[in-house]
Amino acid sequence: AQRVTQPEKLLSVFKGAPVELKCNYSYSGSPELFWYVQYSRQRLQLLLRHISRESIKGFTADLNKGETSFHLKKPFAQEEDSAMYYCALLINSWGKLQFGAGTQVVVTP
Amino acid sequence: NAGVTQTPKFQVLKTGQSMTLQCAQDMNHNSMYWYRQDPGMGLRLIYYSASEGTTDKGEVPNGYNVSRLNKREFSLRLESAAPSQTSVYFCASKTGDQPQHFGDGTRLSIL
C-alpha cells in the first residue's frame, strides 16, 4: 500500500543553521513526489515537485529511489521558513495525493 | 484571479445539524478534491472529482457527500454533523499534470 512517512512532528532550528525534513515513501509504481508548505493559518502552497528539480526559496529535494526518500533541505534556515511542511505522493492518474502527517518547522533567531 | 474559493471560512454547528461547504475555482481545472486536515494526521482525502460529472471516494468518505455541480463548483455536504468531523477542510483543484491548487480552508467546529 502507498504510504508517506514524515518521522519528525516538530523541528526546531536556529536561524542560519541547516535544516533537513525527512520524507520516506512506500509505492509500487514510479513515484512522483511533492513538498507543500503551509504558513500559519494559510492555504497550502506547492514548494517543490521532484520532476522539476527546481530550488525554491533556497530549498532543494532529491528523490532517492534506493532509499525511497525525498528529503527537503535548506543550508541556511531563515525565520520566515517557520511553517508546516507536508510531503505528498501522487498515487493515481487523477491527481490523488497521499500526504504525510507533516513537520512543523520553527526557526528561532 | 481568485483561484480556489471556499465558503464559509468558519462555521460552528451542533451535533446532528447539516451543512454544505462550497468550493469554486476559476482556473478551468478539470479535477477537484476535498481534504480534511487534522493535527498529527496531515491531509486526508475525503472525495474527489476527476472531471465534471464524476465523483469518487477518497480515504475518509464516511459521513460526507459531494456534488460536482459544474466544472467550477464542487460542494461537500455533512448530512448529520458529528464532533469527529471537527476539522479544517480544504478544497483543491488541478488540471493535466499540474500540481494541485488549494483554497484557504474552512474551519468547522461541531459541538
Which residues of chain B lie closer than 8 angstroms to A6, CB-CB? 42
Tens of pLDDT, residues B2-56: 799 999 999 999 999 999 999 999 999 999 999 999 988 889 999 999 988 899 9
The pLDDT > 70 percentage for chain A reads 100
B66 close to B34: Cβ distance less than 8 angstroms: yes
Q: Quote the minimal CA–CA distance from B81 to chain A in Å.
A: 23
pLDDT at B1: 59
CA angle A16–A67–A87, rounded 5-degree value: 55
Closest residue, chain A, to B34 (C-alpha): A96
Q: Give the cell for residue B43.
A: 491531509
A4 close to A23: Cβ distance less than 8 angstroms: yes
pLDDT confidence tier of residue B69, bands split at 50, 70 and 90: confident
Closest residue, chain B, to A7 (C-alpha): B40
C-alpha pair distances (Å), B81 with each of A10, A88, B15: 31, 29, 5
Residue A101 is nearest to which of B42, B50, B99, comparing CB atoms? Answer: B42
Tens of pLDDT, residues A27-57: 988 889 999 999 988 899 999 998 877 778 9
How far apart are the C-alpha atoms of A3 and B94, rounded to whole Å?
22
Tens of pLDDT, residues A61-71: 989 999 999 99
Rg of chain A (C-alpha set): 13
- The alpha carbon of residue A96 and the mean position of all alpha carbons in its chain are separated, in whole angstroms, by 17
Residue B105 is nearest to which of A43, A45, A94, comparing CB atoms? Answer: A43
**Cβ separation A96–B44 shorter than 8 A:** no
Q: Kindly tell me if the per-residue pLDDT of B110 is higher than 70.
A: yes
| Residue labelled with grid coordinates 464559509 | B8
Put simply, the chain B residues between 83 and 102 with a CB less than 8 A from any chain A CB are: 90, 92, 94, 99-100, 102
Closest residue, chain B, to A2 (C-alpha): B59
**CA distance between the termini of chain A:** 41
B106 close to B9: Cβ distance less than 8 angstroms: yes
How far apart are the C-alpha atoms of A70 and A64, rounded to whole Å?
6
